[in-house]
């Protein structure tokens, strides 16, 4: 037995971290590839084990090529499998020639098409950088924000809450994590609800102090909301205000609520780091639906609670 074998087998048996499948999959792949491989091929080896991605393509296969090919009598179903019609009548050389045609067709398609053939998967995600995608999934705690299924069970993708073709932005507050089932259901839905939302965001009311805040007291600016210090005698009062002039908090759109939630989260994290005796927060908002009562710009009040 070589020293190197003992070293490697000891690592595999006793020392390798098994917090995920990555290490054994990568080492198995390298061992099967003559000891060396590139990152793309290692990624493909990992992909084989990612059942969430495989399920995604299973769903597509059932929906699209299977049905079309069966309808044209090119393939047929045998129990749970697909089979080329009349495959047994083909010579081995004929099979090889057909494989050649498939390869040529694929090559031709990929050369002709400027955009990637996987663009349809990006339809919902635009050109969202990987780091933003990661943050969207992290904010969603790696669960679909519609049905709640975990990323371990179904692949999640960032989705534009207001579609890009309706003027929705690539801003993180306009993104949510959806599983592919919820995402495709959403795509099929009529999205006329989203018309002119970007225009509505810019609604302001003359003379409203929240519409034009005092820059000196604004803590954090975001595109759809901001945080600001409350009135003087109480230093522990912070307001979080949507930029749009709206009286009813319940009329806010999800991207605005996302922005407000993000501001709440960052404010509480920062306050806890800065000031020692903070024991908690009280968050309130006014929501009057009756005309004549509290007709002011909707906002959240955040009060810092202390022990003393
Ligand atoms: Zn879902
Ligand atoms: Zn206002």
Residue-wise pLDDT for 41-98, tens only, equals 999 998 888 877 787 778 778 777 888 888 889 999 888 788 999 999 999 999 999 9
Residue 287 alpha carbon to ligand 2 centre in Å: 15
Q: What is the mean pLDDT of the chain?
A: 83
Q: Give Cβ neighbours of residue 29 (< 8 Å, ≥ 6 apart).
A: 37, 41, 42, 45
| Higher pLDDT among residues 255 and 96, named by residue | 96
Q: Is residue 99's pLDDT more than 90?
A: yes
* Banded pLDDT at 27 (limits 50, 70, 90): very high
- Region 217-222: mean pLDDT is 87
* Banded pLDDT at 191 (limits 50, 70, 90): low
Name the region of 206 (left: φ>0; alpha: ψ -120 to 50; beta: rest): beta
Tell me: domain 121-194, CATH 1.10.30, correct? yes
Please answer whether residues 265 and 274 qualify as being in contact, where contact means their C-beta atoms are separated by less than 8 angstroms.
no
Q: Retrieve residue 198's tokens.
A: 């970007």
Q: Which ligand is nearest to the CA of 243?
A: 2
Q: Retrieve residue 6's tokens.
A: 């003992």
Residue 60 alpha carbon to ligand 1 centre in Å: 17
Q: Which ligand is nearest to the CA of 242?
A: 2
Residue 178 alpha carbon to ligand 1 centre in Å: 5
- Region 162-183: mean pLDDT is 82
Residue 229 alpha carbon to ligand 1 centre in Å: 38
| Other beta carbons less than 10 A from residue 286's beta carbon | 14
Q: Which ligand is nearest to the CA of 202?
A: 2
Q: Which helix (H) or strand (E) holds 283?
A: strand 278-285
Residue 154 alpha carbon to ligand 1 centre in Å: 8
Q: Is residue 120's pLDDT more than 70?
A: no
Q: Which ligand is nearest to the CA of 179?
A: 1
Range in 3-17, 82-96, 204-218 with the lowest mean pLDDT: 204-218
Domains 121-194 and 200-306 share a fold: no
Residue 49 alpha carbon to ligand 2 centre in Å: 53
What CATH number should be reported for the domain whose range is 200-306?
3.30.428.10
Residue 239 sits at φ, ψ, to 5 deg, of -110, 140
Q: Give Cβ neighbours of residue 287 (< 8 Å, ≥ 6 apart).
A: 248, 249, 250, 298
Residue-wise pLDDT for 100-119, tens only, equals 999 999 888 888 876 666 65
* Banded pLDDT at 294 (limits 50, 70, 90): low
Query: For the chain, which residues make up each domain, given as ranges?
Result: 3-86, 121-194, 200-306
Half-sphere exposure of 282 (CA within 13 A, CB side): 6
Q: Which ligand is nearest to the CA of 297?
A: 2
Q: Is residue 19's pLDDT more than 60?
A: yes
Residue 27 burial by Cβ neighbours in a 10 Å radius (0-12, 13-18, 19+): middle
């Amino acid at each position: 037995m070589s020293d190197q074998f003992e070293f490697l087998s000891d690592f595999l048996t006793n020392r390798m971290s098994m917090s995920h499948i990555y290490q054994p999959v990568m080492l198995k792949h390298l061992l099967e590839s003559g000891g060396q491989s590139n990152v793309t091929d290692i990624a493909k080896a990992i992909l084989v084990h990612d059942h969430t991605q495989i399920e995604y393509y299973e769903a597509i296969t059932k929906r699209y090529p299977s049905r079309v090919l069966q309808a044209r009598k090119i393939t047929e179903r045998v129990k749970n499998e697909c089979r080329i019609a009349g495959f047994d009548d083909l010579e081995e050389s004929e099979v090889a020639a057909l494989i050649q045609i498939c390869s040529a067709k694929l090559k031709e398609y990929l050369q002709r098409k400027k955009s990637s053939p996987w663009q349809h998967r990006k339809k919902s995600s635009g050109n969202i950088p990987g780091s933003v995608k990661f943050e969207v999934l992290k904010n969603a705690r790696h669960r679909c924000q519609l049905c709640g299924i975990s990323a371990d069970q179904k692949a999640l993708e960032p989705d534009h809450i207001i579609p890009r073709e309706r003027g929705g932005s690539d801003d993180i507050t306009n993104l949510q994590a959806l599983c592919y089932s919820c995402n495709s259901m959403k795509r099929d839905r009529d999205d006329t609800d989203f018309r002119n939302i970007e225009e509505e965001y810019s609604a302001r009311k003359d003379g409203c102090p929240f519409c034009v805040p005092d820059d000196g007291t604004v803590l954090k600016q975001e595109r759809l909301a901001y945080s600001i210090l409350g009135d003087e005698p109480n230093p522990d009062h912070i307001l979080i205000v949507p930029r749009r002039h709206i009286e009813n908090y319940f009329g806010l759109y999800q991207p605005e609520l996302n922005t407000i939630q993000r501001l709440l989260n960052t404010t509480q994290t920062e306050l806890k780091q800065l000031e020692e005796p903070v024991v908690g927060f009280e968050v309130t908002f006014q929501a009057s639906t009756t005309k004549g009562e509290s007709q002011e710009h909707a906002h959240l009040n955040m009060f810092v609670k202390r022990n003393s």
